[in-house]
Amino acid sequence: MTSAIDQPTVQLPSEVRMPMLGFGTWQLSGRRAYEAVREALDVGYRHLDTATMYGNEDEVGRAIRDSGLSRQDVFVTTKLPPERAGRERETIAASLAALGTDYVDLWLIHWPPGRDRASIASWRELLAVRDEGLARAVGVSNYDTGQLDMLVEATEEAPAVNQIRWGPALHDPRRLDEHRERGVVLEGYSPLKTTDLHDPVLAEIARDHGVSTGQVVLRWHIEHGVVVIPKSGTPSRIRENFDVFGFSLSEGELRQLDAMGR
């Protein structure tokens, strides 16, 4: 099992390091959310992904405190709901209070607010919140390339991260290149839900490495430099999803998995 300090990271602006493997908390709530996050931290995850609309920031924050880990050792992401456009300061204040922290490591606009002007206005507020130290880095989620460019043109600052649905079946090398050209880190969510884990090619690669098909999918993200945030409330699956650093995929295997998106 890889230790927390051995995990690969990507660099965001201002020397912020983001672990490439994170723990997603969507659809986890109450005691189940708390226990899942505690298990994830015990296993070695040091990157947690939550959001205002998940309704579990309190449980995530309590799990971090009860883990005994230093706050600076855990990378925390939360997100601004699109319907909160225009209420950014109120929202980040509520998130920080629920998480029990003075700052988050990454704050994202969860979805484009709808109108371009609202999206740009929210982006300006996120940049101001970052400059005030309430968020170490800021970004977006579910934005297409044109929407990323709109923000850059309006503010001359690109989002540090764009979190989107991603997996072998959704692989789009052109879109990945567009992110890299703009200096935007691509972060993939729902990596296992978007993948046919019974695909015969995927199953054969998993057998060759003595791992599960889910582990292959997560490793595929990391090999491509894509941050990935699997979610599970099952302790055995939480541990399995973290155990992806003891093998690597060959160029041929990567090409086979890339082809699932065609």
The span from the CA of 107 to the CA of 17, in Å, is: 14
The span from the CA of 138 to the CA of 23, in Å, is: 18
CA quadruple 7, 229, 87, 132: dihedral, nearest 10: 10
Q: Cβ neighbours of residue 161 under 8 Å, at least 6 residues apart? A: 12, 18, 106, 108, 137, 139, 140, 184, 185, 186, 187, 227
Check residue 239 and report its DSSP letter: H
Q: Considering 34, 45, 54, 143, which one is annotated as catalytic? A: 54
- Please indicate whether residue 189 is annotated as part of the active site: no
Which DSSP helix (H) or strand (E) runs through 118?
helix 116-131
Q: Does residue 19 contact residue 88 with C-beta atoms inside 8 Å? A: no
The span from the CA of 199 to the CA of 256, in Å, is: 11
| Pair of tokens at residue 247 | 């093998």
Provide the annotated active-site residues. Answer: 54
